[in-house]
A and B are shown apart, each in its own frame.
Chain A
Amino acid sequence: MISQLLAIWQADAAFPSGGFAFSNGLEGLAAAGDRLSSDELEAVVEAALRRRWATADRVALARAFEAANDLDAVAEIDREVEATMLAEPFRLGSRRNGAGLLAAHARIGTPGARDWQARVRAGRALGHLATTQAVVWSGAGLDRSGAVLASGYMAVSGFMTAAVRLGVIGAIAAQSTVRKLLPVVAELAATPLPGRIESFSFRLDIAATRHARGDLRLFAN
């Protein structure tokens, strides 16, 4: 039971990690065209889950989780993550969000957090979110499947929280979308891990890239 509770603990937005400040392209998308309907919002998030979370974040997390005791191996996966993120706002966002999560875990003394943080600070690792989650969640005692579910849940809830703050959807209606997307996370979490980390969410990539050039923004990406 404890590993499930630990996964809930880490997936809870009350755990400070900086995640609330990232819309992962949604702010750019919301600013770009007509108002997004809730169906469109759902489609955008589902696409991000299928083409980015399942094929990139999940893969990096699961592989780094297995390697969490060997920080050289984690750093290798970390570089792969960097190389597969096309849009700079996603690369920087992932690194900053990783640093935020790491700051909290270093502070509470999660095993492994300080060593990984020292590496990132020394420039010997980039500290992307997925690889950092692997290190600190392994150190905190989650199991791999709990870690993958926590990451998938946070991908959905992160988008939906941003959507609420952007006024794209109401806070309660958002939960109906979350409910519809949870089976997608469950389905994707159960699929075999591909050998390579791949990410392809061109609509959000373009939206985030345009967003980064704009002066007016609430979110970091």
Chain B
Amino acid sequence: MLEFAPGADVRRQTASAARIGVGGPVGSGKTALIERLIPVLRGRGVDLAVVTNDLVTKEDAERLRRSGLIEPERVSAVEAGACPHTVIREDPTLNMAAGDDLEARFPGLELVVFESGGDNLASTFSLDLVDWWMFVIDVAGGDDIPRKRGPGVLKCDLLVVNKTDLAPHVGVDLEAMLGEAIAVRGDRPVIATNARSGEGVEAVADMIGRAVLFSE
């Protein structure tokens, strides 16, 4: 009666563009980092699109559409029904469908970036939705964030510590914070960025390239 044939590599049958997630607490700089990454990745010839999961408004989607960095039609917004973690973890289907829709509209698309709505340290991406994801925290959120060992900090493929420029102003010892982040992550990648100046953004792009675009 029930002829289910999921196969080992189910995801690849429906998606051909790589999909990556950008998660992290409210205001840590997810959108700012994406704004920095877009020109770098496009400069490397990557054909990309973005899906945002704004909580209440379409603020981030509108900001990216107006940025002039990417054609507005390449930015989709998915509502999170008051649950930013549900829409990337327990039930990522609306995001999956938004990604499918972008792929259908832009043949040749190589990368879809999903920005999660700002959430807490427990938010993680479902691997049904993305191939690889980063978690963005910031220096001003407190140097104890890595120590708190939230699932987001521990499980992500790349931890980004943003707003390095603010460290002196908030009394954070950046080196110590990064050291602790690397320690709790068991030597998995951590990159420090300043999305204001663009510092560290090339390194993030390199890592995305190696992880999902099979480039150098």
Contacts and interface: CB of A to CB of B under 8 A. Distances in A.
Contacts of A14: 90
B194 to A, nearest CB: 31
B82 A219 contact: yes
Contacts, number: 96
B87 A111 contact: no
Interface stretch (A15-23, A54-62, A73-81, A188-196): A15-23
Question: Which interface class (under 10, 10 to 19, 20 to 34, 35 or more) fits A?
Answer: 35 or more
Interface stretch (A96-104, A144-152, A198-206): A96-104
Contact of B81 (A22, A102, A103, A106): A22
Nearest to A140: B2
B81 to A, nearest CB: 4
Contacts of B11: 107
A165 interface: yes
Interface string A1-44: 00000000000001011111111000000000000000000000
A180 interface: no
Given A16-B90, A20-B91, A21-B81, A108 B2 contact: no
10 pairs of A and B residues whose beta carbons are closest in the complex: A21-B81, A100-B93, A16-B91, A18-B94, A99-B97, A220-B79, A218-B82, A109-B6, A165-B82, A103-B96
A107 to B, nearest CB: 5
Interface string B1-37: 1111111001100100000000000000000000000
A218 B91 contact: no
A217 B14 CA distance: 30
A172 interface: no
Contacts of A141: 1-2
Interface in B84-124: 86-87, 90-94, 96-97, 100-101, 104
A218 B6 contact: no
B100 A121 contact: yes
Given A96-B94, A108-B4, A218 B55 contact: yes
A220 B83 CA distance: 12
A107 B81 contact: no
Given A100-B94, A218-B56, A165 B4 contact: no
Contact of B6 (A18, A22, A107): A107
B104 A216 contact: no
A174 to B, nearest CB: 14
Interface string B185-209: 0000000000000000000000000
A31 B11 CA distance: 39
A23 B81 CA distance: 8
A110 interface: yes
Nearest to B58: A215
B177 interface: no
B47 interface: no
A110 B128 CA distance: 16
A216 B59 CA distance: 10
